[in-house]
């Protein structure tokens, strides 16, 4: 029994050190591959990804994803508590439908370090990784990770792969409308397609464009967009 506990402690210690080393690695380098990307490939959905630096991404794309997914991104420390409360209240009233309250930081924690799902274990780990990346990474690095690893279509991961697939151009050249269409699909990229343009993306991208105009003049938003990583 003593040997078992000794091995268990050793295993836990190795895992703790390994995850911290990986967090530091991702602080500097692109993630080699994510569990979501592996799942997409093994599930027959394909895998298209192409990492690009923060400075090689159109400001329109940065603005669009904040407008669509997390307008308080520059100001919070990883969690938007009001949105989480609203999501919990909504899910309690309508258990058949699930509404998320995740920030961009939480989505990066999930997409880069974890797996998809709604278990309490995964949620607990998401809180931990969100805290770690908000503590160590800059907002620009978090947004860079998000724009490079988020699924933006079936088997399409990252803004560069999406820009090339849908518009035949690099992410640096995306127009405001094109960026809004990609951002509009993020809620469910397998269902809400950019090409062919689904009704949802066509309608929701108009809302995203309006939100982009609303937040464009915010100095905190502009600091995140304009600054280098």
Query: In terms of Cα–Cα distance, which of 164, 112, 100 is closest to 143?
Result: 112
d(CA 148, CA 33) in angstroms, rounded, equals 11
Candidate CATH numbers 1.10.3810.10, 3.40.1790.10, 3.90.550.10, 1.10.10.60; the one for domain 48-220: 1.10.3810.10
d(CA 4, CA 14) in angstroms, rounded, equals 15
d(CA 104, CA 78) in angstroms, rounded, equals 8
Hunting for tokens 């999930």 — which residue is that?
Answer: 110
What tens digit of pLDDT does each residue of 137-167 get?
999 999 999 999 999 999 999 999 999 999 9
What tens digit of pLDDT does each residue of 79-132 get?
876 665 554 444 445 444 344 468 999 999 999 999 887 778 888 999 999 999
Query: Do the Cβ atoms of 159 and 188 come closer than 8 Å?
Result: no
**pTM across the whole model:** 0.88
Q: Residue 2 is encoded by which pair of tokens?
A: 């003593």
Ranges of each domain in the chain: 48-220
């Amino acid at each position: 029994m003593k040997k078992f506990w000794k091995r268990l402690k050793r295993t836990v210690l190795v895992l703790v050190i390994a995850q911290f080393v990986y967090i530091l690695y991702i602080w500097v380098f692109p993630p080699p591959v994510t569990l979501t990307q592996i799942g997409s490939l093994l599930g027959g959905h394909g895998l298209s990804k192409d990492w690009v630096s923060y400075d090689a991404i159109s400001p329109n794309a940065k603005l669009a994803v904040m407008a669509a997914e997390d307008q308080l991104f520059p100001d919070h420390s990883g969690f938007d508590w009001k949105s989480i409360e609203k999501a919990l209240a909504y899910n309690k009233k309508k258990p058949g439908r699930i509404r998320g309250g995740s920030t961009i930081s939480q989505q990066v924690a999930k997409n880069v370090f974890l797996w998809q799902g709604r278990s309490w274990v995964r949620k607990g780990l998401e809180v931990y990784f969100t805290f770690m990346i908000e503590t160590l990474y800059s907002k620009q690095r978090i947004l860079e990770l998000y724009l490079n690893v988020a699924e933006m279509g079936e088997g399409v991961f990252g803004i560069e792969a999406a820009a090339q697939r849908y518009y035949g151009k690099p992410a640096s050249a995306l127009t405001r409308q094109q960026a809004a269409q990609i951002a509009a699909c993020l809620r469910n990229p397998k269902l809400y397609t950019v090409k062919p343009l689904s009704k949802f993306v066509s309608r929701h991208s108009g809302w995203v464009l309006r939100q982009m105009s609303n937040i464009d003049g915010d100095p905190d938003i502009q600091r995140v967009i304009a600054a280098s990583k």
